[in-house]
Amino acid sequence: MSGDRLVSALLARRQDQPPAVERIRLPAPGPGEVRVRIRAAGVCHSDLAMIDGTLAPSFPLVLGHEAAGVVTDVGPGTDRVSGGEHVVLNWSPACRTCWHCAAGRPWFCDTSGRPSSARGTTADGEALHVTLGLGALAEEIVVPRHAVIPVPAELPFEEAALLGCAVLTGVGAVRNTARVTAGESVVIIGLGGVGLSAVLAARDAGAGRIVAVDVAESKRGPAMAAGATDFLVSDGGLVRAVRSLTDGRGADHAFECVGRGKTIETAWRSVRRGGGVIVVGMGARDDLISLSALDVFHSGRVLRSSVYGAADPDRDVPLLARDVLAGTLDVSPLITHRISLAEAPSAVDRLVRGEGARSVVSFPD
């Protein structure tokens, strides 16, 4: 069809099958849509969640939802952006009219939250789906205009990409959900792109003790570079170790950035009476947590989640971009692998093994 384009993308054919780079066919942008040439895209654990059974999206599925690029075409009636603008992709664009949006909580927008939606076809004509309305591990994407956020052209694409998921999520969990203040103690469990972003924000908030926790000793370097005061390898003695670093009481806040019931329970036991546990990781439907009724009463702890950093991406991504450009937010500890699209399947394997933090795919100009 006229205006269709064949581009390369990271495609998962079905659950539990390794994704591969394939050619896909994208339509021309329709009314209210834009085409973006992707210049950098991160590989997030939520992409793995699409294929490891945590979520149940439709297949075949283009992976990727953390990206930045340049607008190349705008469909009719699209005044929000113009060709040539640099943009960050938003995987939860707000409708601005539903009850949650009107209440000032666009991260709960009624229109968001579906793991996949239909767009384009495979090269041989089979109907295709894209991750979180984007499918951003692709040379190009076509999205609704509300899914792009203009950012300054000086912002490097790799950093810009991370603002679209890991950084907005991890920083928002600390600033918007927990509202960490100077001198407070935090424990952050799981040090991928999301957990390391929480470490960055905790340092920025002036947290006194920032205890970073992972199962992999290799996360010590990135954690300390991001501003952790202590690093612990997660084992049976973790709760006691956190308590001994926090005057025997437990931390003021714990951030679970793994997505498992067991680590939520550990986070719960790591905070003091009256402290807060923020669930940032996205776990599976059948992964249950167990808390005693007496403990819930006696501990006075608060358990809450943080979806997309409880942020308004339209407002907060430009603010984060400004901080990166000003040098006050250094996201470089997050990036452990710079790769091409052809190498993206190996980045998914690294997520399975818990190796490295963000792998960022760069696309040539």
Residues near ligand NAD (CB under 6 A) are 44-46, 49, 165, 169, 189-195, 213-216, 219, 234, 257-259, 263, 280-282, 306-308, 351, 354, 357
How are the residues of the chain apportioned to helix, strand and coil, as percentages rounded to the nearest 5?
A: 35, 30, 40
Q: Which of 109, 128, 171, 303 binds Zn ion (CB under 5 A)?
A: 109
CB 230 within 8 A of CB 212: yes
348 binds Zn ion (CB under 5 A): no
Report residue 76 as tokens: 């009719």
Report residue 17 as tokens: 């099958």
Measured from the CB atom, is 106 or 222 closer to Zn ion? 106
Pairing mode of beta strands 185-189, 209-214: parallel
Q: How far is the CB of 260 from ligand NAD (least distance, A)?
A: 6
Measured from the CB atom, is 87 or 311 closer to ligand NAD? 311
- Judged by beta carbon distances under 5 to 8 A according to partner kind, the member of Zn ion, ligand NAD, none in contact with residue 186 is none
Cα 167 to Cα 8, 163, 219, 321, 335: the distances in Å are: 26, 5, 17, 10, 12
CA atoms within 13 A on the CB side of 192: 28
Q: How far is the CB of 118 from Zn ion (least distance, A)?
A: 21
Please tell me the count of residues contacting Zn ion according to CB under 5 A: 7
CB 220 within 8 A of CB 155: no
Peptide bond into 60 cis (omega under 30): yes
Q: How far is the CB of 106 from Zn ion (least distance, A)?
A: 6
- 304 exposed, middle or buried (CB, 10 Å; 0-12, 13-18, 19+)? exposed
Q: How far is the CB of 363 from ligand NAD (least distance, A)?
A: 20
Measured from the CB atom, is 196 or 271 closer to Zn ion? 196
Other C-beta atoms lying within 10 Å of the C-beta of residue 193? 30
The residue among 169, 148, 154 whose CA lies nearest residue 68 is 148
- Judged by beta carbon distances under 5 to 8 A according to partner kind, the member of Zn ion, ligand NAD, none in contact with residue 192 is ligand NAD
Measured from the CB atom, is 20 or 102 closer to Zn ion? 102
Handedness of CA 22, 354, 310, 149 (dihedral sign): negative
CA atoms within 13 A on the CB side of 113: 9
For ligand NAD, the nearest residue by Cβ is: 192
Measured from the CB atom, is 21 or 282 closer to ligand NAD? 282
Measured from the CB atom, is 193 or 250 closer to Zn ion? 193
Site string (157-176) toward Zn ion, x via CB under 5 A = --------x-----------
Measured from the CB atom, is 98 or 239 closer to Zn ion? 98
CB 191 within 8 A of CB 212: yes
Measured from the CB atom, is 162 or 241 closer to Zn ion? 162
Q: How far is the CB of 176 from ligand NAD (least distance, A)?
A: 12
101 binds Zn ion (CB under 5 A): yes
Rounded CA gap, 64 and 44, in Å? Answer: 8
Residues 125-154 that bind Zn ion (CB under 5 A): none
Site string (61-100) toward Zn ion, x via CB under 5 A = ----------------------------------x--x--
Give the binding site for Zn ion (CB under 5 A). 44, 46, 95, 98, 101, 109, 165
